[in-house]
A and B are shown apart, each in its own frame.
Chain A
Amino acid sequence: MILIKCPYCGERDQSEFTNGGEAHVIRPTNPKSLSDKDWGEYVFFRNNPKGIFYERWVHSHGCKKWFNAVRNTSTDQILKVYKVGDKRPDLSDFENTLKSPSGEPFVGSGNFAVKK
């Protein structure tokens, strides 16, 4: 159960929030002009990386506000939260958390609990 800092209410338990998938996927303003493929990309395809991920959350059992968060999906650390409309933080801000080439962190994975 992770702790999430709602930009409006402060730190609250994860159980108060709902995850809304990848962030910064903007609904096309003129869907009609899009090809079937491009529209299909928008509707059906989302990224699911291991590591740094920009995603949406809603404080559904609280202020009901949507906001964005940067989460390391392999360690579940929430590195930053920011309001809808705020500038998306640069990936280089979080570089230090992803040292290993495979994306598997040195710390934080139950599959590799023993230090060699």
Chain B
Amino acid sequence: MSAINNNCEYIKKKQINITFDGKIYQAYEGDTIASALLRNNVRLVGRSFKYHRPRGIYTCGIEEPNALVQIISEHNEPNTRATIKRVYDGMEITSQNRWPSLRYDFGAINNILSPIFSAGFYYKTFMGPKGFWKNLYEPLIRRSAGLGKPPKNFRSKSTHQHHNTDVIIVGAGLSGLIAAKKFLNTKYKVLLIEQDSYLGGVLKNSNKVKSINGLTPQEWISETEELILNSKNITILKNTLVTTYNFTNHLIALEDKFAGKKIDLNKSELTLHKIRTSNTIIANGHIERFISFRNNDLPGVMLASSFEKYIHRYGVVPEKEPVIFTNNSSSLSLLKKLISLGCKPKAYVDSRKKDNIETEIKKFFKNNDIPFFSDAEIEGCDGNKKIESVTIRQGKSFTKINSSMLCVSGGYNPDIHLFTQSKGLVKWDKNILSFKPDTPFQKTITLGSTSGNYSFKKLCDEINEKLSIFKTKKVSLDISLNVPNKFSIKELWETKKKNNSNWSKSFIDLHNDVTTKDLKQAITEGFDRIEHLKRYTTNSMGTDQGKISSINSLAIVSKILKKEISEVGTTTYRPPYAPLSFAAIAGRSTYEFYDPERKTSIHSWHKKNNAIFEDVGQWKRPWYFKANENETMYQAVQRESKMLRENAGILDGSTLGKIEIKGRDALEFMNLMYTNAFTKMKPMTSRYAMMLGEDGMIKDDGIICKVSDQHFIATTTSSGAPKVLADMEEYLQTEWPHLQVYLNSITEQFSTFNISGPKTREIMMKVFPDIDFSNDAFPFMTFKNFDYKETKIRIMRASFTGELGYEIYIPPKFGLELWEKIFSCGKEYNLIPYGTETMHLLRAEKGYVVIGQETDGTVTPIDLNYNWMIGKHKKDFIGKRSLSRPDTSREDRKQLVGLSPINKKDIIEEGQHIVELKELPKKIKNPIKYLGHVSSGYHSPNLNHSIGLAMIRGGKNLLGQKFFVTVTGKTKNIPVEIVNPVFIDPENKRLTS
């Protein structure tokens, strides 16, 4: 066996070195990995997915099911198709799915055990006993799953690009180029996309076409490309693969910026093109399919047109003396080329009857003395890790021929993948024995072999007719051919085996190791619907999506079911057409660009002062501040909480959402949006308010400042701000367009500091000596505006800790300076910074709820005992009617209560259940009565015992009763007493002090 080089204009005779499995091979610039390996007579390139069978290079393009390799020199990129990936000097490649080496693979034992790995193996085998799944099967499957190994330390640099065009032409083969020619210098903006680095398609993959308009195919391609490049309206994208065809003519294409070059780590390596177009022209050709026979997966079996493509496109003849096996008329050009190169096929096996075979072919065999078998088929082939011999069946006689390569052609499928993705309908064509596009759903036109037209002669007419909807000129080309153009095919999907053995296999899906026997077995077991059958057998579910075999499997299934293929139908074609890397989809949205971080104006101070941050939405908020290296979170929070109630603390509340509501009808609007009544509220006062959904459930809360009847400022929760603004906007636009109200998000316009604790007043007086902070001049829940330096600030008296407190609003530009001033003034009063965790503890002590912690979308204000917040005399507000529904008025709804442990040393854990049992049974047989759950649990440093807030069924009427709270990992529960949820200062003396 040996390959020879052929002259070829696409390959530069510049020698480069590549490494495959540690061995250095010489290749030419322009080679793919596959062509380079074939040039070096490397046939074995990988191991199969399930049985670890030796596999070689089967095709010469995107349809490759076998030759998947790992590119070590490109972030260890796995599952790369060797048939399309171009090489460069120093490229490092390894084979996949083998251990310890490609030649001696331990996993090949699966091949011997193969009778048990039949269809549905996973579903049938890994059923029990209990615990085996978690401990044995899953780790085992995970270890053997997949082919390549995932990349390491990977950092993608891919980008996205958007296009808006009138016409997109997918594929720059003969049809695509003719179509492009029609659009030359017209008013249409055209995008011509080609997956290869050269235009021309079939013209450069074979020598079927002799000349076009008197020019050689290559001359004609160059001339056409020149014309396109000089036109103003057509853009060519090479090395670009259209993977997806969505609704409304939205296509996605992936461009490899470094095809055949070493990746520059500073540049974008992939570009994902997102294309909107008015019309799509699909001219991406056809894909050859194989035929199933015994051992049709042995290295050395190759599709005939791929073999031909290696000769013309890459200048390598993989084998001088192959055997050719076909059921159609397409292989004559390959035969002619081989003879012209001084090669001679060992045999030509045609399944068609002698009378149906073209006389040109028959004559050609006679003249060149090629062994010719008509009405014959390949029974199978044999060999160790490569083909050594093939067995031909002709009638009842068998002929064994020694050869190392077998070219197979089972016919051609129009590449309908994109057309069906676009939701077009396909139809079975008896003449070509394949599906071809029928009714488009979008503005889609298919040309040439994509539309099922295999005739070069009729091509121009077809294109002129189909593109007549555009204002373009007619093109006519004089295409002369080297071979007759009539296509004839005989139905043949699988050849019969001589002996039936459990170990002899004829594959239908090479990628996922599905055999024709698996299809039969699945149907026997009742999976006779093609979508079920596909999933049960994993047929055509590999990364190649069964491009060379899926029609074959439909045909075999239809034969078993005794149905027409169109009755069996196809499985759904889904994007992408070929795998595209996640890096390309992610584009620049990775790492720091994935989700923006929002930081307050005080962030740098927090970092300097050892804050540990918590993510709240996109915001970074200080969670707690570490007093020293060794302080744990628990210690820090206990310290902060105690210090605040003794002295004072300050919280950076800048992340709180702030919405400004202005306009003639602002008062009416606020009365409708919130539960509270704002009409009688005095200007320059504020109020804690709640917003409900129409179902009566709490959505958000915050403090509402009333400047006047026409001007309100609402605060929201940190993460709820965008949703609240959007909801307000929705009601204004859709339900109450008559209200004159304007909304504005001012969250980022103000830095907000919440300062609270018994010593707060002294600190505030020191920071703002001109302001009167006395209780009479500045009572609880009022706010005032002041001039401060060259800016304005707003101070509100409010508190979320239960202590005397103020909130300061200041433009962020001045935030840090004021914050630092507060600290220098507060030093003598032991002012401390505190984080969100301490805030949560303090508010729990005070019995204040947190939306999303105590509430979960099923809680009404009545459940929280917040009836005082509901404007009962208001005619309407969002959710009001729902508060009197039978369900919301139930007595046994979960209601907010406080929990106090009877044994003061017990710890109440958040999220635990509240039950009536002192101890849980060791083995739970019957459901245990569940009363509610602990929504917040903390150790209160101020009460010196654990406290909890809980939502308990009918909780309001259970005050003083004793229940039990479950404990993680224990059966013994802790006894608790149901108490008022306000643990500290129930009379609000501190708040109003």
Report A's interface with B, CB cutoff 8 A. 1-3, 13, 20, 26-27, 30-32, 34, 36, 39-40, 42-44, 56, 58, 60, 64-66, 75-76, 84-85, 106-116
Chain A residues contacting B569 (CB-CB under 8 Å) are: 112-114
B400 within 8 A of A: no
Contact B248 A3 (CB under 8 A): yes
Contact A3 B250 (CB under 8 A): yes
Contact B423 A84 (CB under 8 A): no
10 contacts between A and B (CB under 8 A): A30-B876, A31-B876, A34-B881, A39-B885, A43-B694, A107-B423, A110-B573, A113-B423, A114-B435, A114-B566
Which stretch of B501-509, B700-708, B733-741 is in the interface?
A: B733-741
Contact A115 B695 (CB under 8 A): no
A36-B885, A39-B885, A113-B426 known, 16 other contacts, Cβ within 8 Å:
A2-B246, A3-B247, A20-B730, A31-B880, A65-B733, A76-B247, A84-B734, A108-B423, A112-B425, A113-B423, A113-B569, A113-B572, A114-B426, A114-B569, A115-B439, A116-B567
Give Cα distance in the complex from A1 to B425, angstroms.
Answer: 20
Closest to A20 in B: B730
B131 within 8 A of A: no
Give Cα distance in the complex from A44 to B694, angstroms.
Answer: 9
B665 within 8 A of A: no
Chain A residues contacting B247 (CB-CB under 8 Å) are: 1-3, 76
List the 3 closest A-B pairs by CB distance, nearest first: A31-B881, A3-B248, A110-B572
Contact B570 A113 (CB under 8 A): yes
Chain A residues contacting B276 (CB-CB under 8 Å) are: 3, 13
Which listed residue, B573, B881, B882, touches A113 by the CB 8 Å rule?
B573
Contact A115 B881 (CB under 8 A): no
Which listed residue, B441, B566, B695, B730, touches A43 by the CB 8 Å rule?
B695
Give Cα distance in the complex from A103 to B428, angstroms.
Answer: 25
Closest to A40 in B: B885
Chain A residues contacting B734 (CB-CB under 8 Å) are: 56, 66, 84
Chain B residues contacting A58 (CB-CB under 8 Å) are: 726, 730
Knowing A1-B246, A85-B737 touch, does A32 contact B441 (C-beta < 8 A)? no
Q: How far is the CB of A62 from chain B (nearest CB, A)?
A: 13
Chain A residues contacting B528 (CB-CB under 8 Å) are: none
Knowing A40-B885, A115-B439 touch, does A66 contact B735 (C-beta < 8 A)? no
Contact A114 B876 (CB under 8 A): no
Contact B880 A107 (CB under 8 A): no
Give Cα distance in the complex from A31 to B884, angstroms.
Answer: 11
Chain A residues contacting B435 (CB-CB under 8 Å) are: 114
B886 within 8 A of A: yes
Closest to B569 in A: A114
Chain B residues contacting A84 (CB-CB under 8 Å) are: 733-734, 737
B149 within 8 A of A: no
Contact B566 A1 (CB under 8 A): no
Chain A residues contacting B366 (CB-CB under 8 Å) are: none
Question: 8 Å CB contacts to A: which residues of B56-91?
Answer: none
Chain B residues contacting A43 (CB-CB under 8 Å) are: 694-695, 882
Knowing A39-B885, A66-B733 touch, does A115 contact B426 (C-beta < 8 A)? yes
Contact B875 A32 (CB under 8 A): yes
Chain B residues contacting A3 (CB-CB under 8 Å) are: 247-248, 250, 276
Closest to B249 in A: A3
Chain B residues contacting A39 (CB-CB under 8 Å) are: 881-882, 885
Chain A residues contacting B886 (CB-CB under 8 Å) are: 36
Q: How far is the CB of B745 from chain A (nearest CB, A)?
A: 11
B736-776 interface bits toward A, Cβ cutoff 8 Å, 1 = contact, 0 = none: 01000000000000000000000000000000000000000
Give Cα distance in the complex from A108 to B421, angstroms.
Answer: 10
Q: How far is the CB of A61 from chain B (nearest CB, A)?
A: 11
Contact B438 A115 (CB under 8 A): yes
Q: How far is the CB of B740 from chain A (nearest CB, A)?
A: 16
Knowing A44-B695, A115-B426 touch, does A2 contact B248 (C-beta < 8 A)? yes
Q: How far is the CB of A8 from chain B (nearest CB, A)?
A: 11
Which listed residue, B423, B694, B885, touches A109 by the CB 8 Å rule?
B423
Q: How far is the CB of A11 from chain B (nearest CB, A)?
A: 9
Closest to B882 in A: A43
Contact A110 B423 (CB under 8 A): yes
Q: How far is the CB of A51 from chain B (nearest CB, A)?
A: 16
Q: How far is the CB of A38 from chain B (nearest CB, A)?
A: 10
B420 within 8 A of A: yes
B427 within 8 A of A: yes
B729 within 8 A of A: yes
Closest to B566 in A: A114
Give Cα distance in the complex from A90 to B276, angstroms.
Answer: 30
Question: 8 Å CB contacts to A: which residues of B411-430?
Answer: 420, 423-428
B712-738 interface bits toward A, Cβ cutoff 8 Å, 1 = contact, 0 = none: 000000000000001001100111010
Give Cα distance in the complex from A93 to B441, angstroms.
Answer: 20
Q: How far is the CB of A26 from chain B (nearest CB, A)?
A: 8
Q: How far is the CB of A67 from chain B (nearest CB, A)?
A: 9
Chain A residues contacting B880 (CB-CB under 8 Å) are: 31-32
Chain B residues contacting A108 (CB-CB under 8 Å) are: 423, 441
Q: How far is the CB of A29 from chain B (nearest CB, A)?
A: 8
Give Cα distance in the complex from A76 to B424, angstroms.
Answer: 14
Chain B residues contacting A27 (CB-CB under 8 Å) are: 694, 735
Q: How far is the CB of A66 from chain B (nearest CB, A)?
A: 5
Chain B residues contacting A56 (CB-CB under 8 Å) are: 734
Knowing A34-B881, A40-B885 touch, does A113 contact B441 (C-beta < 8 A)? no
Chain B residues contacting A40 (CB-CB under 8 Å) are: 885
Knowing A44-B695, A84-B734, A116-B566 touch, does A111 contact B572 (C-beta < 8 A)? yes
Give Cα distance in the complex from A1 to B276, angstroms.
Answer: 10
Closest to B886 in A: A36
Contact A115 B427 (CB under 8 A): yes
B440-461 interface bits toward A, Cβ cutoff 8 Å, 1 = contact, 0 = none: 0100000000000000000000
Chain B residues contacting A110 (CB-CB under 8 Å) are: 420, 423, 572-574
Closest to A76 in B: B247
Give Cα distance in the complex from A78 to B730, angstroms.
Answer: 22
Q: How far is the CB of B739 from chain A (nearest CB, A)?
A: 13
Give Cα distance in the complex from A32 to B276, angstroms.
Answer: 50
Knowing A34-B881, A40-B885, A110-B572 touch, does A1 contact B250 (C-beta < 8 A)? yes
Contact B441 A107 (CB under 8 A): yes
Chain A residues contacting B246 (CB-CB under 8 Å) are: 1-2
Chain A residues contacting B426 (CB-CB under 8 Å) are: 113-115
Chain A residues contacting B574 (CB-CB under 8 Å) are: 110
Give Cα distance in the complex from A111 to B880, angstroms.
Answer: 45
Q: How far is the CB of A22 from chain B (nearest CB, A)?
A: 12
Q: How far is the CB of B8 from chain A (nearest CB, A)?
A: 39
Most chain A beta-carbon contacts within 10 A, residue among B423, B427, B566:
B423
